[in-house]
Amino acid sequence: MTMRKLLLSTLLLSLLTGCGSDDTNDQPDEPVTPDPEKSKYLTLDIKPEAKFEGTFNVYLGRYADPVKAWLQSDEAYHQGDHTHDKMETGQYYAVDERDAQLAGIVNEPETAIIVDAAKMHQLLMTNPDGLGAGSARGDIFVTGHYSVFDALRYLALTRNDIKLDNIINYDESGRDTYEFTLSWDCNGDGEFNDTDNISTDPGDTYGCAVNYSNHKSQDWHFRSQFENGEFAKARGSLNGVGPQGEGNYERMDQFWIKSGMNIRFQSFSPEMTARRHWVQDREMARLTQNSGKVIVPTFTAVKSYSEAPIVIKDLEVTAHNMRSDIFQQGVITKMDVFLSAADTGLDIAFNYWPTLSTGAQVGSFALFRVDGIASDVGRGWATLYGEMATQGDFSRDSQCAFSTPTGGGQELVVDPEHCRRDWQSRFGGNILHLMSDVWVMNQPVEFVTTAIKDHYKTWGMPEYPGKDRVERDFSNNEDGSDIMTLQVFPLPDETESAVLKPSHFGWDIADCTECHNEQKDPDGHGGYSWPINSSDGFDETQPYYCATCHGNNGAPKAHGETARCFWCHDSEQNRPEHHGDSSTQRIYEGDEIRSNTHIYNHPNEIAALPRDKMGNFKEYDKLWSSVNSDWDMSKVFPDPYSCMTCHQNP
């Protein structure tokens, strides 16, 4: 069954077309099929079927990232009129990519190695390097799925500038991961030797780097970046998701690769390798200490800063096999941490994120509710995992003080330039963009924490969705001349005579005005008696207002969300049919794109600037979106008020 069919079966149905005779007296009511039983952990009855298909992008070598280098230099200073802008807190913006652009500093694009998933699968299934037919970790991945290490294997097999040597098997390395040395013919002279460590580019743009090894190196690892579609506000270099990608301490052969990803293989500093090994060794020691059981010493859920957190000590994590389409039975993911907490009695629920309206192909379960508190899109459950000592490793101002007590007391001194290049960024280590259901955790981390976080101000989103009643100005100038009241309406009792039944010829069609309007079939609602919600300021017929008398006409139950339904239901796969202008898209340009004027850039927070894929400042110029979006709202099917009226939460 396709993902489209799966989603529409429980979200917004692909409704019937056509209009007919409403002969309800002569037709018996059809029985209503009960909702299928779903997992107790899920708000939706979804069984993902991920496929390794399409393409993904690979980049080789370090990226100098001149924008990041400039922003961290003594030369960085405010330029341009935006220095007068202030945040709502009254504090000035930090120096950012707008200043770099005005100073003539830009990140130039790279040419990616485009890997065809079908060709990679076809070759690796022949076991060409003796590491296994298919994935080198057949104990983790089902046939047809692969890790980042498998992608590196494929490059070494198909390119003459990459060579893997001295491979140590995952069950012999002591860290449950393959280890190896790598040589990269960085200068393209056809030979693997120490000259590949000498930069011929003064800007060191493409990775041949002094003090970093490209020949018989033990220091190669990877950075990752997920395809985020049109969403460009978190692509900055100091955010960690610019051209470099997010740094990490993960095991390369346990990190699932999916289509659309960007993977960068590069040499890191010896200090980075030592730190990564230190983290992995601690995880292995914890596993040994607990006789092979995955036991997380501390699980914490923070509902607010005014009440004591929920704490579970020594939580034993067991596999729940929620992603059997990707992983072998018994493989533990970070989602299993939360499901194991649920098994102890804690209220935990996951929702499902399909392809989003931005074009980001997520296809994963997301933590939705903890102890009765549910996410509402811009405010939800953020998660942190790992070692206590590594929480300050990846930050804008990291000093890589790993030898201090808070840094873990590791005997490691880091060169300041290595610290700047390898660690200093907003994200990394915790890889915040990797969904927990596809994050392998066969070795226990020291802690798992989840807490409610608010991103409304960070992304410049209005907070009106999610409230049961709110006023909004629909005038183009937002001058208060077209104020309307938006609200969620109660539905009538199902026994009332006016409530529609399954025998209704338009059962399941959301937009009743397709068949009933002033020109045809008004059924007693013509002229001045047409049901218009004029008291709230509207002059359009709204089907969800009709539902206050006639019921929801077979609309399926909702799944707990209360705001911004368009985030999922404006994507091509999940756009609702027969929902008026909500079923269509139009182009937004210029001042209509409010995101360009909502810029938040506090020095200690995420720089929420629109950027291109290389992390340079670039305002949105055109966006395709439905009329329910962060740029606009439908008057006929306003999100979420019409959604929450007809698609009521259980």
Residue 129 has pLDDT above 60, yes or no: yes
The string of pLDDT tens digits covering residues 287-307 is 999 999 999 999 999 998 889
Q: How far is 317 from 334, CA to CA, in rounded Å? A: 9
For residue 204, what pLDDT is reported? 52
Strand 162-168 to 179-184 pairing: antiparallel
Q: Where does a domain end: 459, 480, 510?
A: 459
Q: Are 553 and 500 in contact (CB under 8 A)?
A: yes
Residue 365 has pLDDT above 90, yes or no: yes
Which range (189-198, 400-409, 473-482) has the least confidence? 473-482
- Determine, yes or no, domain membership for 412: no
Whether residue 436 is found in the same domain as residue 480: no
Which range (255-264, 344-353, 578-587, 634-643) has the least confidence? 578-587
Whether residue 249 is found in the same domain as residue 314: no
Whether residue 343 is found in the same domain as residue 452: yes
**Residues 6+ away with beta carbon under 8 Å from 175:** 251, 277, 280, 281, 284
When pLDDT is averaged across residues 415-444 and rounded to a whole number, the result is 90
For residue 604, what pLDDT is reported? 64
When pLDDT is averaged across residues 1-13 and rounded to a whole number, the result is 35
Name the domain count of the chain: 3
- Determine, yes or no, domain membership for 363: yes
User: Higher confidence at residue 46 or residue 317?
Assistant: 317
When pLDDT is averaged across residues 239-244 and rounded to a whole number, the result is 85
- Determine, yes or no, domain membership for 470: yes
Q: How far is 575 from 586, CA to CA, in rounded Å? A: 13
The domain spanning residue 330 has which CATH number?
2.170.130.30
Residue 3 has pLDDT above 70, yes or no: no
Residue 516 has pLDDT above 50, yes or no: yes
Residue type, 496: E
Q: Where does a domain end: 240, 274, 308?
A: 274
Residue 605 has pLDDT above 70, yes or no: no
Whether residue 15 is found in the same domain as residue 72: no
Whether residue 191 is found in the same domain as residue 321: no
In the chain, the N- to C-terminal Cα span, in Å, equals 26
The string of pLDDT tens digits covering residues 199-223 is 756 555 456 766 689 999 999 999 9
For residue 313, what pLDDT is reported? 98
Residue 156 has pLDDT above 90, yes or no: yes
Whether residue 497 is found in the same domain as residue 451: no
Q: Which two tokens stand for residue 454?
A: 């608010």
Whether residue 216 is found in the same domain as residue 298: no
3-state secondary structure of 622: strand
**Residues 6+ away with beta carbon under 8 Å from 4:** 573, 574
- Determine, yes or no, domain membership for 417: no
Count each helix (H run) and each strand (E run) in the chain, helices first.
12, 17
Residue 259 has pLDDT above 80, yes or no: yes
Residue 594 has pLDDT above 90, yes or no: no
Q: How many CB atoms lie within 10 A of CB 233?
A: 21
- Determine, yes or no, domain membership for 329: yes
Q: Are 345 and 339 in contact (CB under 8 A)?
A: no
Residue 15 has pLDDT above 90, yes or no: no
Strand runs labelled E in 42-170 = 55-60, 113-116, 162-168
- Determine, yes or no, domain membership for 407: no
Look up tokens 């309800």; give the residue: 24
User: Higher confidence at residue 3 or residue 401?
Assistant: 401
Whether residue 25 is found in the same domain as residue 60: no
Mean per-residue pLDDT of the chain: 86
Whether residue 378 is found in the same domain as residue 471: no
3-state secondary structure of 365: strand
Q: Where does a domain end: 459, 483, 510?
A: 459
User: Higher confidence at residue 482 or residue 573?
Assistant: 482
When pLDDT is averaged across residues 501-525 and rounded to a whole number, the result is 86
Whether residue 261 is found in the same domain as residue 329: no
- Determine, yes or no, domain membership for 590: no
The string of pLDDT tens digits covering residues 455-473 is 777 776 766 555 788 888 8
Whether residue 330 is found in the same domain as residue 436: yes
Q: Residue 55 — very low, low, confident or very high, per pLDDT cuts 50/70/90?
A: very high
- Determine, yes or no, domain membership for 431: yes
Q: How far is 607 from 598, CA to CA, in rounded Å? A: 11
For residue 321, what pLDDT is reported? 97
For residue 23, what pLDDT is reported? 43
Range of the domain at 240: 55-274
Whether residue 213 is found in the same domain as residue 92: yes
